[in-house]
Structures are given as C-alpha cells and as structure tokens.
Structure 1
Amino acid sequence: MQLRILHVIASVNPTGGGPIEGVKQLAKINENYGHKIEILSLDDPASEWVGKFPHPVHAMGPASKIFGYTPRLVPWLRANAHNYDVVVVNAIWGYNCFGTWLALRKSSLPYYVYTHGMLDPWFKYRYPLKHLKKMLYWPWGVYPALRDARGVMFTCEEERMLARESFWLYDCNEIVVNYGTPGAPDQNKDYGAPFLEKHPELKNFRRFVFLGRVHPKKGPDILIESIAKLRDKGLWDMKGMRLIMAGPVDGPYAESLKSLSRRLGVDECIYWTGMLLGDDKWGALQCSEAFVLPSHQENFGIAVAESLSVGVPVLISKAVNIWRPIVMDGAGLAEEDTVPGCVAMFERWFSMDTTHRELMRSKSHECFASRFTSRNAAISLLSNIYQVIYAEKHESSRGDALRTHAVR
C-alpha cells in the first residue's frame, strides 16, 4: 500500500540540526519504498534552503519569529488534508504543532507527533522561567495536540519515561519507535585524508571531535574545562592532541567558549571549523580517535549515530538517552554530564591499550548497523502507521456491516 505522508516542521533549514536531518533521511528511505513524501514548513518560500531541499516543500511563511505563527498554515492544511494518508508533526513548541491540531482536530486524517526530546525534564530545571511560560501554554497549546494524536513517538524507552515528568497534565498514546541515520554515503571511502588536506593544522595529532550545535545543552563548556583538568593531570598532551569543534560559531555563546578556553590556557589545542556538511563532516568524524558529547539532554543524537557509522567510538554523557545500548555493545563509554564525569570518561579511554580501542572501533559500526540505521527507523514508523490505518479500516468495515445488519 502506497502512503502519502506529510511531514510538518518549523523549518527545513539544515542548521536546525537533528529534527530536519531525521525528516530528510526518513523521507528518502520511505520514497525508496514507493511512498510519497512532502514537507509542510513555516519557512519563507523565498528561503534558499526551501529550494535546495530534496523533497517537495510547501512553505507557509514568512512566520513570526517567536511562535512561528503564519495565517496560511491552518487553511492550507484543511484544504489539502484529503491529499494525504497521514501527517507527521516534528517538534511540539511551535505553531507547526498547534496549527496542525487546529486544522485536523475534527478531521479523520490521522497525525503523529515526534517530540524530539522536548519533553525531557532537564529543560524544566535548567530554564525554570521558560518552563513557567510553557506551563501556561501547555494546557491549551500542546496537551490537546498530543492527546488527540494517533501516537506520540519517542526514540527510546528512556525518553518515553522521562517525558512523563515534565507536566502534571499528560495523556497521550505513547509509542517507542526506532530512529536513525543512513550513515556515511560510502562505507569504503576515505573521507579523513581529504579533510586533513583541507585542514593541515590537524595533521600529526591525536584528534577528538565535537560535532553539533554549539549550545549550552550540548555541554561544550564541560568539554573545554575537562581538557584543562586532564592537562593538569598530565593526561592531555597540549602538543600532541587536538579537539575539533565542528559546529556553527557565529553567536555569543561560541565566543564565550573561546574566551573560556583562553582563560584556561587550552585554546591552542581547540580547532574551530564552523558547521561541517557532506564529505567534510564525515572526514572530521573519520579522522578522529573518538567522538565526544557531554550533553545535558539528548533524546537520540544523530551525530552520535553518524560517528558510529564510520567506526568511531563515542564518549558521551548518560544524558544521551541511547547510551545504554551503545555501552552494552562495547561501542563507547558513558559518564555523568559533569566535568568530573567527562574527565573520568577520558581517563578510561586513555587507559585502554591500542588493541582495546581498535576493538571498540569495530564494535562501533556493528552497533550502528544493528540499531541506528534510517532503514530500521523508517520501517518502525511505517509499521505503526499501517497498524492504525488497518485498524481504522477494519473498524469502519465492521461498523458498515453492523449498520447493514441493523437495517435488515
């Protein structure tokens, strides 16, 4: 059965990170299975990333900067609902979610919601004032959208359980689905050598990589402070090791991190690349000894799975919700999302001999292939959609039969 699937998301801008990357990869796999995929976004139609996106995009913007409101979304979705079999909403705190509920709450068209980690209670404790605002919006803006969805999708059991702790008013059909990424386009290609040719300053060093948004949630300050602690312990060789910081650097937070590294005297061993895409991204991962992410909150972590796909072990915090299967598979290490935790993780890594580290590299790709591919994620999503569609058709047929019998 061919499905017509509409993904609703705030923006298709690639700087949005995991959610839009996940949508892109799921769409690609689902199209390969013969399904029709389209995107409904709040972007300005004139935005360059709209035209470059590899799947059809219906851009409803320009939208307001704070909530993403656009008057075009609800009328368009109501008028075009008959063109789709299912709608998948990505993220919950913008008008893309609330507007979808407004448009479809009286419709028979089923919709699902990916929360993308936005119900993790960490946000409640880290940003209490923002949480107060969310508490005012939740009962009428998010709660009904989740309650009326055919399913609210979580990428692991840990994310599902944590979601229940954020708001007292909570009622939805929870579904745990696989999530993933296709990994490197060519598993046999050497991406590392060309990357190092572009960045010769990194040659002849032991390299570690942080790849993702440069945001307080990701814990980059923890990483920089940990390097200073490791240096003081004689474990971080300032002349022989480099940390690749691969992420957008055009913001005040990135500048504060650079200032922190200068103040701690470790700025010479931190190499800022800016945001990396395509072969450059794979090269930064592949040429590194390990990927490091001491995040305070991560429901999945696309970059974690991408690192595993090229056989690079991951050193992550236990706030990355997929840490348990990774550690169980011997593909990485995990500690608390603190400076002592990050230091302990590096100490464990440095204590391993070469044979152990190489074994972990081989297990990294095995872990990715068995757990985190986008193919598995697409199959998981489709199986849940099919179950609902077939169940509703069965109920409809049963209802028709009962009505016919009653008439007789």
Structure 2
Amino acid sequence: MKFLHLINSVDPAGGGPIEGAAQLHRALVAQGHAGEFASIDAPDAPWAQDFAAPLYALGPGKGRFGYSPRLLPWLRANAGRFDAVIVNGLWQYIGLATWRALAGSSTTPYFVFPHGMLDPWFKRRYPFKHLKKWLYWPWAEYRVLRDARRVLFTCEEERLLARQTFWLYRCKEAIVFFGTAPPTDDPIASKEAFLAAFPQLRGKRLLLFLGRIHSKKGCDLLIEAFAKVCREAPDVHLVMAGPDPSNWRAALQEVAERLGVAPRICWTGMLAGPLKWGAFRAAEAFCLPSHQENFGIAVVEALACHCPVLVSDKVNIWREIETAQAGIVADDTLDGSVQLLARWLAESSSSQWDARREAARHCFDRHFRMDQVAQALLHIVQEEQSAPLLERMDSRGAHV
C-alpha cells in the first residue's frame, strides 16, 4: 500500500506529532509499504530540505491556520496515487483541504489523527481560543471528522476526552495505540556521549525532563517539587532538555535561583540522536507532571530505554503505565509532583526500582512498539476499503 502523510510542518521542534508520523512512516516502509509526506513548510526551510522521507513542501503557510493556495489543487491532482491519506492534527488548513478534496471519495479514503487536539483541557485553559474554535467547528473541523473513514485516537483516554469538548460531535472512532521504534543505539556509547557533552552531570543521580519547555508540561511544578524533595539529596540533579518556543526558560531559571537549586539543574536545549538516547540511558527516572498530554512520545521513549516514568494522570497513557508498574502516577499539582519525586526517592535505592526498570521495557513491548501500531493501522485501512459504501456511510455516527 502507499500512504500520504499530511502534517502542518515537519519541523522536529514541533514535538510528538511529527516524531510519531515519521516513526509510523518508517514502520510501514519496513513492512513493505510506501509513503510520502506533504506539509505547509516553505520549500527552503532547513528541516524540509533535510527530511528523511519524500516530502512536498507546499508552503509557506499563512498564519497559524497554515493556509496555502497550493495544497488543495495538489491534493486533487495527486491523492489518487495513494491508497490512504493520513491527516495529522486539527485546527489547520491541511484538514479542511483534505475534506474538500476527498470527502465522499470511493477510491482514496482519508483518516485523521487528532493528536490530543480535542482534549477539553484546552477549552478550560484558553477559553477565548475555544470560542474562536467554536466559530470554526460547525462548518469545517466537525465535517473533517464526520466524513473521515476513521478518526484515530492513540488511547482510550483520548477517545473519551474528545467527546467532552464540543456538543456537535460525530465521527467513526478507532483506537490505534501510538508509539515509537525500539532504540537501536549502543546504550553504553550513548550514555557516554551524553555525559561527555555535559560533564558536570557525571557521577550524579539524574532525573530527566525531555520535551518542550512549556506551561502545559508542568515544568514549574517539577522545579518546585525538586526543590522541596531533593534538597537533602545533593547528588540528585535535574536535567531539563528541550526547545523553549515560548521563551519561558529564563523565568523558570529565576524560580530555581530563588529556591536555591539552580546549580543542580542542567538546561541542555533540544537533544537528538545519541545525545537524546544517552539522556534516557543516564537517567534514573523520566519526569513529566503535565497538565495535558495526549500520548507523550518521550514517555514511551523512556520506557523503551528501561527508564521508569513519573507522570501526572493527565498523561493519557497513565493507566497502561500504572497497570504495568512501569512508573508512578499522581495529580498534576504541586502536591502530586512532590508525591512523584518523594516516592521515587524512597524506592530508588531498593530492588523495587530495578523491577520498575524491567517493567518499563515490558510495558513498551506490549503496548507501544511502532511496528505493532503500523499493523493496527493497516488492518483499519484494509477493513474500510473492503466495506461496502452504504455501510461506511451508515456507520459514521459513532457518537453524537
């Protein structure tokens, strides 16, 4: 089969959606299928030129909506070359253009990964933006989802939360656990590369945050909890790794200075390749006290590296983590973050933490291997292709 993956941008700083789409593409290719990407990036964007898959950069897009006059005619001319179109994300022109080009098509079905963008947290956190989305929803995004062959949720929690955001909601739902490919690095070499790049961390016990430095991620909670819990454990250091798109890092560093833990926090910037994997290998635990996290690719990457995770119950895969005993779960509050670190500190010197390391990798292998995700997606696409047209039309209203 041949897939077209549509995404607003292939810039790796965009985090989970592009990382997940790229991993899914590689898994499908490894199983004998083909794929191409289309985005609203400028053709001369460095990440577009360096992208490791066939890419049509049809931008630059205009504004946050990413409107590009080139996309719709390109889709109408090229969609027939593909067996299925996968739309990654909502609230951008890629979805509306796909709907306009393919709604009702009997030859080229399209599927949508919302990637957590229907989580009701956003309407509580950004009520004005939610009002603007309501103005857009009935005539655009609602129809994009309604007419998709399937709307693909990455876990049960995401599917249930999506139903709470807009009362006008109708689509055919499916769950496709997301994930990543198992790391192929040399664990010892990766760890050494990371410690060589940040020699001040050698010989320390490391807690790792890896992701965008953003208020949604609970970075402030993590720093405050670290100051409260780890003050009497001077060998414990916190690694804050990731890009800073909202320029929040300086304010967080001021908080760390005020709390007296700034010398024990290492800000690495964005990590990739051996340095990223080395950070997971060097850490005793991965920390993400997020207020909203649809899936958390970095969480899954940590599990793949035998690194137990400390996450809030707003990370949508928390149930799988807790059931597997692959980490610790608490509320997305300061008290909850304190509980995460305190329980880790209490367990870390015992055999219980070694058991969690093995459970972390077992959890990854059972739920989050991208080759399994690719097989599940293929099954759904093939099922939809074989379904009679009338049956597809009648089954659209999974939830109203």
Q: TM-score range by the shorter chain?
A: over 0.9
State the Cα distance separating 1:245 from its structure 2 match: 0.4
Moved more, 293-302 or 249-258: 249-258
State the Cα distance separating 1:194 from its structure 2 match: 2.1
Secondary structure of the corresponding residue to residue 181 of structure 1: coil
Answer yes or no: is the 8 Å Cα contact 1:183–1:305 preserved in 2: no
1:134 partner letter: K
State the Cα distance separating 1:298 from its structure 2 match: 0.9
Answer yes or no: is the 8 Å Cα contact 1:334–1:345 preserved in 2: yes
Secondary structure of the corresponding residue to residue 273 of structure 1: strand
Q: Does 1:42 align with 2:27?
A: no
Provide Cα deviations, 1:184-217, integer angstroms capped at 9, x if missing partner.
1236554212211221100121110000111111
Q: In structure 2, what is the Cα distance between the partners aligned to 1:280 and 1:7? A: 28
Residue correspondences, number: 390
Answer yes or no: is the 8 Å Cα contact 2:185–2:277 preserved in 1: no
- Structure 2's unaligned 5+ residue stretches are 393-400
Q: What is the correspondence of 1:5-404 to structure 2 with a 5 Å cutoff?
A: 5-108=3-106, 109-186=108-185, 189-231=188-230, 236-237=232-233, 239-249=234-244, 251-352=246-347, 353-392=349-388
- How many percent of aligned residue pairs carry the same amino acid? 48
Secondary structure of the corresponding residue to residue 207 of structure 1: strand
Provide Cα deviations, 1:121-165, integer angstroms capped at 9, x if missing partner.
111111111111111111112000000000001011111000000
Secondary structure of the corresponding residue to residue 212 of structure 2: coil
Q: In structure 1, what is the Cα distance between the partners aligned to 2:186 and 2:204? A: 24
The structure having more radius of gyration, on CA atoms, is 1
Q: CA RMSD of the aligned region, Å?
A: 1.6
Larger relative contact order (C-alpha < 8 A, sep ≥ 6)?
Answer: 2
With over 3 angstroms needed to count, the CA separation of the structure-2 counterparts of 1:326 and 1:150, relative to structure 1, is: same
Provide Cα deviations, 1:200-255, integer angstroms capped at 9, x if missing partner.
10012111000011111111011011112225xx5x52x31110000013642122
Q: In structure 2, what is the Cα distance between the partners aligned to 1:296 and 1:395? A: 39
Answer yes or no: is the 8 Å Cα contact 1:178–1:381 preserved in 2: no
Q: TM-score normalized by structure 1?
A: 0.92
Answer yes or no: is the 8 Å Cα contact 2:217–2:290 preserved in 1: yes
With over 3 angstroms needed to count, the CA separation of the structure-2 counterparts of 1:106 and 1:387, relative to structure 1, is: closer
State the Cα distance separating 1:66 from its structure 2 match: 2.1
Q: In structure 2, what is the Cα distance between the partners aligned to 1:191 and 1:354? A: 25
With over 3 angstroms needed to count, the CA separation of the structure-2 counterparts of 1:138 and 1:350, relative to structure 1, is: same
Q: In structure 2, what is the Cα distance between the partners aligned to 1:377 and 1:187? A: 24
